Structure 1
Amino acid sequence: MSTSPKKNTVRGKRYTAEEKAKIVAFVQEYNATNGRGGQSVAATKFGTSQLTISTWLKGAGVSGRSKVSGGKGSMQGKLATMLTLGQDIERLERELSTKRSKFETLKASL
């Protein structure tokens, strides 16, 4: 074990609250325009790590991508949607059949 005193050194750059806010705002603006990738671009532009920016985003309450639910209710929801769509298709096909018969009647009368 070493008995020499430890040096008081700073290991990384410290960012002010204004700098953090500027970077977080940049990421939000970039993601709003381009959909995603703001964190990576900001890391390159401002010279910080993506992990640091991720921590700041979480601290600022910025939500990440929305997660797709894969719970039990998702299958029931999909089935209900399919049933509704199937009923709509049947109704529209009946309307189309009616309109086609009217069209053919008018066409034959010419």
Structure 2
Amino acid sequence: MASRKKNPSKARRYSVKEKEEILRYVDSVNSKQGRGGQTAAVKKYGISALTISTWLRGGGASSFKIGKTSSNGAGGVIAKLAAVHAEIQAKEKELASLRSQFEKLKSSI
């Protein structure tokens, strides 16, 4: 039986903080120059362009600020949806209260 060679390079895992830093750098270069942020990040941080593009497709730097849940995959999207839904409900409740006040004041005229 032939022995197999193991791949000496292992996948690098990036923390959320590292991803945020790299994606912020990409955004800053893109905002200054209009483009080229991904290439600049590849040169500066020495990581794959494919890795950065995968992170960018995942929602950019803002996607990593949700909290303990990752925004990669359905769990992060669901958590973000729940947060937005809760905010909408709070605003609708506040709006209903303001409308009630408005109607009371309007009827008192």
Larger Rg: 1
Q: TM-score, normalised by structure 2?
A: 0.47
Under a length normalisation based on structure 1, what TM-score does the superposition of the two structures give? 0.46
With CA pairs under 8 Å and 6+ residues apart, which has the higher RCO, 1 or 2?
A: 2
